[in-house]
Structures are given as structure tokens and as C-alpha cells.
Amino acid sequence: MNDKELFDRMTESLYAAVISDTLDELGHRNQVMRENINPIDPNWVLAGRAKTILSVDVHYIPDQPYAKEIEAVDSVKPEDVVIGCTNESKQNGLWGELLSTASKVRGARGAIVDGLIRDTAKIVELGFPVFATGTKPVDSQGRGIVIDYDVPVLCGGVRVNPGDVVFGDRDGIVVIPKDLVGEVFERALDKATRENHTRDELLAGRTLRQVYDKYGVL
């Protein structure tokens, strides 16, 4: 299946916890971003290829404060999820309505920012899933600047490489290394199916021991 089909199936059938469990089983136990990065709308579920953008704090207004930021957003491709690494800045409002609009039109599936964002009402209205640590109405000009993109970044405590797959929902954000995506998807889908059977049998009155012994999930 192509990326669009894969990510659509992931958002329809999977959830962060079952993907995290699957990565644990494969020995990748530190793939979940910090718990302070959350969706603006808790009902949003997001999956896509990591498009990394690296920003740093500044304390002056550069001659061209948005040059690299514009270049980065204009290079977004369909099925990307923008990973905005601000080094957990509290002064840099990296993301907002216009960057969301530009990214959505280019086919991006959403954005994850390890810092603050703004224009949240407009972003919700746009229907573009964005995860962040919080909000602040200040512009990034003179506070932060994009210095690079399509490079490895540390976002929410997890190393994210360009092309890795990220999955986010109201429980958190999981990073799947790009060379494990197919295996993680198949294993997670199987585990989710077994969890669904477990829940159904618990609701029918069977004991937790009975269904655990049968399906092996908890």
C-alpha cells in the first residue's frame, strides 16, 4: 500500500498505546514523546512521515527572519507531518494559522511542535491536526528562527529522523523508525484485534485471566 493508504489505515485502526507496546516488544522502548505535547483538539488522530524543522531562540531581529522557515514549509510534501523542534522554547511561537494553511494545501497531514503555538481557533477551524506544549500569541520574529530542516532532531525527548513515521492521539505521540514501519504496522494491527476480542469477552462476563490466557494482551 502507498503512504496515504497506510496512514489512513493507521488513524482508523490503531492508537498510540498499541504502537508503543509493539515497539517495546521489538526492543525500542524510548519512542514516545514527552507527555506535555498534546493535540489542540483531543479528538485528532495523526499519522504521517516526519518532515523535520529545527528552530532556535534568538534575541535580535535578523535581516531575513523567516527565510529558512518559508523554504522549509514550501518543501513540504503530501503525507508529511511537520516536526517543529524548538528545543522546548518558551519564547518562540513557531507555528500558527498561516503555516498550517500552507502545509495543508501542500498535502501535509499535521504538525507536532515541542514548543508553543498560536492561532489555535483558526487551526481548529482549518481542521489541520497540530500538537504542541501550549499556546502564546507572540510572533517568532526576534524570538526564534528556523536554522535547518530535513535533519535529525530531538523532539519531546525522542530522536526523529526525516522519513520516520509519527503517530499521535490524545494519549501521546509515538515515533516509528522508518525501517520498522511495515513490521510495526502489522504487529500493532494484530495486537489491536486481539485487544478488541479481549474487551468483547470481558464485557460478556469472562474473567481477565481467561481472556489473557486466550489472547495474551493486557
DSSP state of 90: S
Cβ atoms within 10 Å, residue 65: 18
Phi-psi region of 164 (alpha: psi -120 to 50; beta: other; left: phi over 0): beta
Residue written as cell 529522523? Answer: 161
Give the Cα separation of 132 and 116 in Å (integer).
Answer: 6
**98 known member of a binding site:** yes
Give the Cα separation of 71 and 123 in Å (integer).
Answer: 21
**97 known member of a binding site:** yes
**25 known member of a binding site:** no
**156 known member of a binding site:** no
**142 known member of a binding site:** no
The set of cell numbers assigned to 155 is: 523532539
Q: What per-residue string of b and e applies to 163-185 under the rule 16 or more CB within 10 Å gives b?
A: ebbbbbbeebbbbbbeebbeebb
Q: Which residues, in sequence order, are CB contacts of 119 under 8 Å at separation 6+?
A: 96, 97, 98, 100
DSSP state of 66: T
Q: Which residues are annotated as a binding site for substrate?
A: 96-99, 118
Q: Which residues are annotated as a binding site?
A: 96-99, 118-119
Q: Which residues are annotated as a binding site for Mg(2+)?
A: 119
